[in-house]
Amino acid sequence: MELTLKEYLKKFFNAKESFFLNGLKCKIDFRKGDLGFVSESLFSKVSFSKSFIPLREVFPTKKKFNLSYKMHPDRIQSSGYSTPSGTFKEAIVKFDRHELDLKHDDTSEEHINEEKYLRKNKLKIIPDYLLASDYISEYCEAYFHHNYKASDFEVMDTYNVGRRNYFLLKKRKRIYFIHTNALSYADWINIKV
């Protein structure tokens, strides 16, 4: 089955048209410790309609999903890394080891040799914002780890600011770490279940 993410949320999670700002967008943020789709529409905030859909319900770990940003005319937020090959679980381990290496490096922050840790963990730096049509215009297998962490403080009206808040997209053999904010324009993302 092929749908836009917006159609998928409407069909299987009872999101109303009013859930989406200008018929396109919803926010990705935390509610009661859970990361999910938050309605940006004023109408859904004052009515009894659904205003939050958890990511773990939309993308359960055991179900296979393919996403395409073919229709997305803009840039999407990445978490800054990709890995040339491996499984999704191996990619997560590489990311975790890299973060741990950086955390335990006693060198001052401005003198850390991040390249050394990137090579060690087989990660590549990619731009923080990717032109969606250049990177992921074809369907890519997606994986959601659901181990997301809310920030201790709000930045630009969201707690979804950490690099850890990514999902994975596999294009051929390469795996991209894409920030969950890249799911906000639900009408521009295609999903195949």
- DSSP per-residue codes, 36-60: EEE---HHHHHSSS--EEEHHHHS-
pLDDT at 74 over 90: no
- The predicted model gives 180-186 an average pLDDT of 91
- Asked whether the predicted pLDDT for residue 98 surpasses 60, the reply is yes
Q: Starting from the edge strand earliest in sequence, which strands make up the sheet with 27-31, in order?
A: 27-31, 34-38, 52-54
Per-residue model confidence (pLDDT) at position 151: 78
| pLDDT tens, residue by residue, 55-72 | 999 999 889 999 998 777
Q: What is the mean pLDDT of residues 127-140?
A: 83
Give the three-state DSSP class for 25.
strand
What's the pLDDT score for residue 69? Answer: 84
Residue 120 has pLDDT above 90, yes or no: yes
User: Distance between CA atoms of 128 and 131, rounded to whole angstroms?
Assistant: 10
Q: What angle do CA 77, 37, 73 make, to 5 degrees?
A: 40
Q: How far apart are CA 7 and CA 2, in angstroms?
A: 9
Task: Say how far apart CA 178 and CA 166 lie, in whole Å.
Answer: 5
Round to whole Å and give the CA distance between 123 and 175. 10
User: What are the residue ranges spanned by the domains of the chain?
Assistant: 2-192
Q: Which of 35-39, 45-49, 127-131, 167-171 is predicted with the least confidence, judged by mean pLDDT?
A: 45-49
- 137/133 Cα distance (integer angstroms): 5
Tokens representing 81 are: 């890394």
Collapsing DSSP states into helix, strand and coil, what is residue 86? coil
Look at residue 47 in the predicted model and tell me its pLDDT: 52
Contact 150, 37 (CB under 8 A): no
Per-residue model confidence (pLDDT) at position 70:
74
pLDDT one-digit tens code per residue, 160-181? 777 789 999 999 899 999 999 9
- Does this model's pTM top 0.85? My answer is yes
| Strand partners of residue 124 | 82
Give the residue from 192, 140, 191 showing the smallest Cα distance to 168.
Answer: 140
- CB atoms < 10 A from the CB of 132, how many? 22
Q: What is the pLDDT of residue 77?
A: 85
